[in-house]
Structure 1
Amino acid sequence: MEESFEPRKVRDFGEIINDTFVFIFKTWKPLLKAYATICGFFVIGSLLATLLQQFRMMKGMREGFANVPRNPFGILSNMLGFEYIVAMLFSFMTYTVITLTTLSFIHLYREKGNEVPTVEEVWTFVKFYFFQFLGSGILMFILFFVGFMFCLVPGIYLYPIISLIFPIMLIESTNLGFAFSKAFTLIKGNWWATFGVQAIMLILITLAGFVFYIPMMVAGMGGFFTGIAKMNTLNVVLKVVIAHINMAFFVFPNIAIALSYYSLSEQKDGTGLMDRIKSFGKKDTGNPELAPEEY
């Protein structure tokens, strides 16, 4: 019988990276189904909104540079507009739903005794936490952006802390203020490991996503034969479509930060160990993977 995967246990840096892929390979079919069903609408909406915004930008650039003398503010006004606001809003909502779907999936997996949750169960969590996560995400983005503007260092320091806030909010069913404070507590003495996990995952998904940009490069070379205008339009469409296909790869860093949270929480609080102590004497703990010598 295949051993189940236990999310809540102490892991080192390498184990978190490795177990991220182990969990995804074990559950990729139901996880992909949940992603497509719940996130699909938002991804498509974001794709269409971004295409409209990009076409508006191309048109604005052409009209702006056609006028003499050139007015930089006029060009910028033509490039941006209502389409830009809609695209930004859909982008925030899409990343919020992807984060929520992934974290809800792994949380429910553990809550059900290491059994795969249904799409309906994941959707229940996504609906409940959506606006809380959306508002918190916008606030954390502003905080990260401000920190990043101050010589990069504050933004880099805050990145792993901000990443931990969202699994804390969902798994512990708490508010942003408590999650923010708890993230600082968990990260103490573990900043480098947590940052390293996220950095490695972002590098890996960037490299994986780069493969999908090869068709755009081929289309760009084909532009020499089809004309500049057609080439620009085709490149914009391909770029936007590929970027939204690559959104699926953000499942990986979300799983990794969830495992980081479980590991740090186990180190600090020992919640999983206490749960197993309470389960002693019961007929079935539902945890065949855990061995007593792990603690």
Structure 2
Amino acid sequence: MTPASLTDLKAPAKLNLFLHVTGRRADGYHLLQSVFVPIDWCDTLHLHLRTDGQITRHDLTATLPPEDLCLKAARLLQQHSGTSLGADVHIDKQVPWGAGLGGGSSDAATVLKGLNTLWGLHWPTERLAELAVQLGADVPFFIHGRPAWVEGVGEQITPIELPQALFDTPVAVLKPPVAIPTPAIFGSENLRRDEKPAIVADFLAAPKQFGCNNLEEPAKAYSQEVVQALEWMQARFGNSRMTGSGSAVFAWVDTLSHQRQPFTPADVGVSDLTQTGPWVGRMCRLIRQA
């Protein structure tokens, strides 16, 4: 018997521990290499069964398009499964959008997984992941929900065992007010597209320091606030890197004194720039399985 509702479903954000652009296909899509890791900064979803076939999201605001990714995910699963059931979708949105944290993709993946249960479909994970490819490059990763080595245009996902030290080390995440459109990054003249392909062993030899994010330079050219975020985090924690296509920046918090303190944007000196919009900061942990 299937449940009438599923509540408190966690949709975690992710970090790209590195992100290399190794080439470009003839169709214009960029070839990437990255390690994706879910973190404990989450949205919370609530799904309620409908028998009339309607699918409705009840928390949409002026900042979210009516045809958002979650509704697309639900309708795609409904279409491909042939079910006559529907759902009411409620999302407690905590992960900022336009950040490179994958919040929208994670929400969509959580909708697919949740409705798979709510509608009694019992599709295996791989079948859901194949459907998720139609929704965007990051959505299949969130279907699997565990650290992964990602290649191609995001569709080649291989689970990876990370050292325990990474899960033991907090990461500070800082999101500037700017939301960066992904097409602006990949279309930038500042984007390097010829990074040498990496191998897993090299990454695992120094996972906190390995590689770079090739999308940083275009993002810095797009917004001075990304530059400021990188500089402030470097000054505070001794390291900084942008995740995804930005604008969020993260830093490993290796110093015990920093780990014991709460992290807010004011901790890295942004309190005097609040007129540009809200800065969001959080101390996070990597998680093994979403």
TM-score by length of 2: 0.24
By relative contact order (CA 8 Å, sep 6+), the higher-ranking structure is 1
TM-score by length of 1: 0.24
Bigger helix fraction: 1
Bigger strand fraction: 2
